[in-house]
Amino acid sequence: MESLNDFLIQKPRPLPVIVAVDRSGSMGSNGKIDALNIALKDFINSLKDEDSNKAEIHIALFSFGGDTATCDIPFASINEVAIPTYQADGRTPMGESFSLIKNLIEDKIQIPSRSYKPTIVLLTDGIPTDDYESPMNALINEGRSSKAFRIAMAIGDDADHNMLSKFVSTPEYLVTGESARDIRKFFRFVTMSVTQRMKSQTPDMLQVPTMPDDDTLDF
């Protein structure tokens, strides 16, 4: 006998989190790539532990280094992903990663319109070595991707702070760091931002958490 269940799909709305990280050669210095690998694992595992009646986190992970940007975790439920380990190498083709992210967000098959707005997370210690301006402008100003929240971390003095300040949704979403330790702190900040959205009655409103104290980090 038929019932409403035969016609309706009952699923929480997806809350997309799209991460792009730098794996260029400079990330190999001062333990940054190792800190990134640990922080990414902690970040994804902590999001797996989150539960909400409003949303289910879906994640995609991109990286840029060597000669190209790659998609290392295709967009999927947080509970279904395996976390890669990065090696630092090569140049900083960040612009290419912007294009990959934009393509994902514009795809309504992968990210349906019933989803909450995506959060884009960018972490880098350098200056883009490819043509980044056009893809970045398209990502932040045009179409569906312009609605996403954008958070970034600049590690060290070599990061392009000017470019990153244009990238982020709000000045509070640009986090600067000097050391590998700051990378883990940044991902804690992102975790808090995402979980605040999940628990909010208005997940599509900008949420700016307080940066966690060092004391709250477990090293």
Partner 1 sequence: MEQIISYIQATVPGDKPDNLPNQDYIQVFENDTIYIGSVSDGLGSSLHSKDGARLACECVVDILKNENSEVDFNALSDKITKHWQHLVEQNKGLIKDYRTTNSFVSVLKKEKIILAGQLGDVMISLRIDGLFRHFEITQKEFSNETDCLGSGKNERYKIAKYEFGHSFDFLIATDGISDEIEPLKLEAFQNYLKDKFQNVSTDNRNIELQSEIENIMEDKNNDDKSLLYTWTNRK
For partner 1, the closer of residues 56 and 182 by Cβ is 56
Distance CA 142, CA 182 (A): 32
**CA torsion angle 180 56 49 173 (round to 10):** 30
d(CA 51, CA 89): 36
Considering beta carbons, is residue 54 or 166 the nearer one to partner 1? Answer: 54
Provide the minimum distance between the beta carbon of 50 and partner 1 in the complex, in angstroms, as a whole number: 12
Encode 82-132 in three state secondary structure. CCCCCCCCECCCHHHHHHHHHHHHHCCCCCCCCCCCCEEEEEECCCCCCCC
3-state secondary structure of 41: helix
β-pairing, 68-77 with 55-65? antiparallel
Using the minimum distance from each CB to partner 1, give the nearer residue, 6 or 215.
Answer: 6
- When the beta carbons of 113 and 216 are compared against partner 1, the nearer one is 113
Q: Smallest distance, Å, CB 66 to partner 1? A: 33
- Cβ(126)–Cβ(96) below 8 Å: no
- Smallest distance from partner 1 to CB 42, Å: 25
Task: Name the residues that contact partner 1, by CB under 8 A.
Answer: 2-13, 52-54, 56, 113-117, 144, 147, 201-205
The HSE-up count of residue 190 (CA atoms within 13 Å, CB side) is 33
Q: Write down the least CB distance from residue 52 to partner 1, Å.
A: 8
Q: How many Å apart are CA 35 and CA 125, to the nearest integer?
A: 13
CB of 172 to partner 1, least distance (A): 20
Which residues, listed in sequence order, are joined to residue 68 by a DSSP beta bridge?
Answer: 65
* Closer of 5 and 216 to partner 1 (Cβ): 5
Contact 26, 154 (CB under 8 A): no
With respect to partner 1, which residue has the nearer C-beta, 13 or 91? Answer: 13
Min. distance of Cβ 111 from partner 1 in angstroms? 8
DSSP, res 199: H
